[in-house]
Structure 1
């Protein structure tokens, strides 16, 4: 039987668009956005943790964060090796 993380991750895969992966100090973080474009999910599979935020909670934060996350994903290879343990 799948654990809670696996079930939640399966839901994200089915209901979201994959935006990309970015490095973190501890590994990689996947970035997903719901197909309705109203929620962003950050997924750390190595620690089985999620972070999400809805657009309606703070529309300005949502738009700014999406731009920032997209930029981090696109420029992932330019991070200093010390900061990227991928």
Structure 2
């Protein structure tokens, strides 16, 4: 996991939450959407959304979990300060 990648993923999740909710106002709903999208994008960027053998999931876990968590956390924080 690289910090710049996690930051860009989190900010992308925040921006997508604005499009989905139709507002840039700070709210619990938009924060929840931003956090979920940041984690989803982080998981996808690390390759965890690929459906495959269990060995692939286990091998991707050390990268996937931190990137998904970091992406979600940064999206959460970014959505509170827009």
Q: TM-score, normalised by structure 2?
A: 0.33
Normalized per residue, the structure richer in helix is: 2
TM-score, scaled relative to structure 1: 0.32
> Which of the pair is proportionally richer in strand?
1
Higher relative contact order (CA 8 A, sep 6+): 2
